[in-house]
Amino acid sequence: MSPATLDELRRLSIEHVTRSRAEPGCLEHGVAIDANDGLRLVFFERWLDRESLVVHFRVPASREFATIVARTHEDYAFQDFWLGLVNGRPSCTIHSPYQEGPVASAVLSTTSWTHIACTHGVSGTVTLYVNGAFAASGNSGQNLGPIPTAILVGASETMQPSVLGQYFPGAIDDVRIYNRTLMPSEVQSIAR
């Protein structure tokens, strides 16, 4: 992210934080510059309950802000990689006409945090982990990138430009993307 983009995003972030603090159920909402990476903004939010957070995500200004943030993160290493829920079960899919990818057998609990991780090896093996434990795997003949695309977290683009859809029905925290395939022991360590 360029410093000019960061300045504009910082301005928009402060507007978003100020607006969010006025919403019912918002206990705390803030943004700071990461001390280790001056080009990264870190958000902290605390809500009275899940319903307050859901209402916050439905506010049009919040959705617009999320779209702007998503579009500032250009990435040239990943193409059509999707991690989410299929009928309440974790899944990671390499988008193709065949929607290839593993799906976990168990439906997630909606009352606790769950760590979900997915790796894509150079051999095409796609491995899904839930709370650090192996959940499912599969093979994909699809390559990941490079294409100039935005990374979207918590939503996907629709056929209309600048319109998002398929919103993740919950909260997302600590998103990480690596430039290598993590070992199972690394995924387990991160999930703790």
pLDDT digits (tens, 9 = 90+) for 98-131: 556 788 898 888 888 889 998 888 777 889 999 9
The 10s digit of each residue's pLDDT in 21-64 is 999 999 999 998 878 777 778 888 888 887 888 788 778 888 77
Position 10 scores a pLDDT of: 86
Nearest by Cα to 95 from 152, 133, 135, 134: 152
The token pair that represents 102 in the structure block: 């593993």
Query: For the chain, which domains are there?
Result: 3-72 (3.30.70.100), 81-191 (no CATH)
pLDDT band at 95 (very low <50, low <70, confident <90, very high): low
The 10s digit of each residue's pLDDT in 28-38 is 999 988 787 77
Q: What spatial distance separates the first Cα and last Cα of the chain, rounded to whole Å?
A: 30
Position 15 scores a pLDDT of: 93
Distance, CA of 120 to CA of 126 (rounded, Å): 5
